[in-house]
Amino acid sequence: MKKRVFIVHRWDGHPKRDWYSWLKKELEKNNFEVYIPVMPHPEEPTIKDWVDCLYESVNKPDDKTYFVGHSVGCQTILRFLEKLPENIKVGGTVFVAGFFSTGESTLANLTDEEKEIISPWLNTSINLAKVKSHLPKSIAIFSDNDPYVPLDNKEIFEKELGTKTIIEHARGHFTDEDDVVKLPIVLNSLLKLSL
């Protein structure tokens, strides 16, 4: 059976934006089946709708199932993994610009409206021990000038999930607005996880 990868786009994202299409093509060249679900109402993501959409897309996860999340897409994957039955392990995950609620400075530079939309994601806890039980390998990638995601999120990934972390220089929030339309570090990270 082929290895599958599910790419979960960012808030206000779309499968055709940023680096997702490029990554899909590159992974397909490496014999992966790749899916980029269109998440519901991306301009106003909700936990239930996004996690449900990912469940419908993945169907039955196994150790040949991999994930790539971008920003709120990382949160979606974490919450999806948290709900899996006990004996299921996935292949691994690459988190890009992922975040947790880490106190006062959890996300920066948001408007009041954006704070309201993201508030449930920040204030609904995630059982990270449960996530870790389903996730044997993960890599998290951050940018040293991300306007939204502070680097202190890196420590939570490392400490709570045993995630290997990588800091890229001057990639912003890894969006096409930051001129990031190819992201070789994600491709290389996923290929490494899938060995």
In angstroms, the CA 49 to CA 65 distance is: 21
Tokens for 57?
Answer: 């897309």
In angstroms, the CA 183 to CA 65 distance is: 20
In angstroms, the CA 45 to CA 43 distance is: 6
Strands (E), the chain: 4-8, 33-35, 65-70, 92-96, 138-143, 164-168
Asked if the model's pLDDT at residue 152 lies above 80, the reply is: yes
Of 58, 68, 70, the closest CA to residue 9 belongs to 70
Query: Looking at residue 103, what is its pLDDT?
Result: 54
Tokens for 170?
Answer: 């001057």
Residue 179: phi and psi, rounded to 5, are: 65, 30
> Where do the structural domains in the chain lie, given as residue ranges?
4-193
Of the candidate ranges 21-25, 100-104, 175-179, 181-185, the one whose mean pLDDT is the lowest:
100-104
CATH class of segment(s) 4-193 = alpha beta
pTM for the predicted model, two decimal places: 0.96
Mean of pLDDT values over 34-62: 97
Query: Looking at residue 102, what is its pLDDT?
Result: 57
